[in-house]
Amino acid sequence: MSEGNGSAPGGRATIRISGLTKSFGDQTVVDIDELVLGAKPVEGLIGPNGAGKTTLMRLIMRSTRADTGTVVLDDGSSEVALSKLAPHRIASLGVVKTNQVTQDFAGLTIWDSLLLAVAQRHDERPHRIYRERHVVEAYGEEIQGYLDTFEFSEPGGFAHSAGEKKLLDLIRCLLLEPKILLLDEPTAGLSEEVTTQVIEMLRTKVAEGMSVIIVEHDLDVIWGFSDVVHFMAEGDVILEGDPDYIRAHSTVVEKYLGSGHV
């Protein structure tokens, strides 16, 4: 669907997808000929239920294996086939994803959980992070910055609520300093106030060079935050454009509401 060679202006890394397919049983859930993600700072990925949005993100991260096709990370100077790498290697290359259903390290405190993310970023062995005080001090300020921004009920203890776990997941991802952050419904279940804080935090990171690809069921977030929107239906991206163009397009209305309401 997208045109171009995948190298983003201004040095942004892009994800180039070719011939990507995935079926579950007799149902094809993703079938994309050509698609480039990440050329713009914030890209929304929307579509009706079952369009294949979450599966596409999982295929990029290789937490789900594709049937066919390639996914290439292009940072302007080199190309790496993500479709041949393990998920943790993809993360270490700067492509990181939050989870729709939060992955919880229930036995770790907020600090330990965040230190683990820092260890991943610096290729530190986790035991070194936990045992050596100076290592904790080196990264502590960065972690504390996030904890000061978002109010946890017990910042020195555990994340208690689903909302806090969701924030923790997001902060863990940001601590990895991603080039491209894939967000799968990041504001689901967060209050309006915290949603605003999250979007502001993401805007800051985007201004610093991070790219965002976001799936979000609250379309007001998509319209207000995205530079470009990719519209998916039946496994493929069938429209791309700025938020106003997509929002007004008759195909979008038809796919969401049915043909009688265009």
Query: In this complex, which beta carbon is closest to other proteins, that of residue 13 or of residue 46?
Result: 46
Provide the residue type at 177 as one letter: E
Q: Minimal distance in Å, beta carbon 258 to other proteins? A: 3
- Burial of residue 124 (number of CB atoms within 10 Å: 0-12, 13-18, 19+): middle
46 neighbors 53 (Cβ within 8 angstroms): yes
Q: Minimal distance in Å, beta carbon 259 to other proteins? A: 6
Position of tokens 């804080």? 197
Q: Minimal distance in Å, beta carbon 160 to other proteins? A: 8
Query: In this complex, which beta carbon is closest to other proteins, that of residue 144 or of residue 251?
Result: 251
Query: In this complex, which beta carbon is closest to other proteins, that of residue 1 or of residue 162?
Result: 162
Q: Which residues pair with 72 in a beta bridge?
A: 16, 81
Query: In this complex, which beta carbon is closest to other proteins, that of residue 24 or of residue 138?
Result: 24
Q: Minimal distance in Å, beta carbon 47 to other proteins? A: 9
In the chain, the largest separation of any two C-alpha atoms, in whole Å, equals 65
Q: Minimal distance in Å, beta carbon 242 to other proteins? A: 15
CB under 8 Å to 50, separation ≥6 — which residues? 29
Strand order in the sheet with 79-81: 27-37, 14-24, 68-74, 79-81
> What is the distance between the alpha carbons of residues 105 and 158, in angstroms, rounded to a whole number?
10
Residues forming the site for other proteins (CB under 8 A): 26-27, 48-50, 161-163, 185, 188-189, 217-220, 223, 247, 252-253, 256-262
Position of tokens 């530190």? 124
Tokens representing 97 are 């994803």
Report helix, strand or coil for 136.
Answer: helix
168 neighbors 114 (Cβ within 8 angstroms): yes
Q: Minimal distance in Å, beta carbon 196 to other proteins? A: 15
Query: In this complex, which beta carbon is closest to other proteins, that of residue 136 or of residue 238?
Result: 238
Residue 117 DSSP symbol:
H
Distance of CA 20 to the CA centre of its chain: 19
Q: Minimal distance in Å, beta carbon 100 to other proteins? A: 10
Report helix, strand or coil for 135.
Answer: helix
Query: In this complex, which beta carbon is closest to other proteins, that of residue 50 or of residue 69?
Result: 50
Query: In this complex, which beta carbon is closest to other proteins, that of residue 81 or of residue 101?
Result: 101
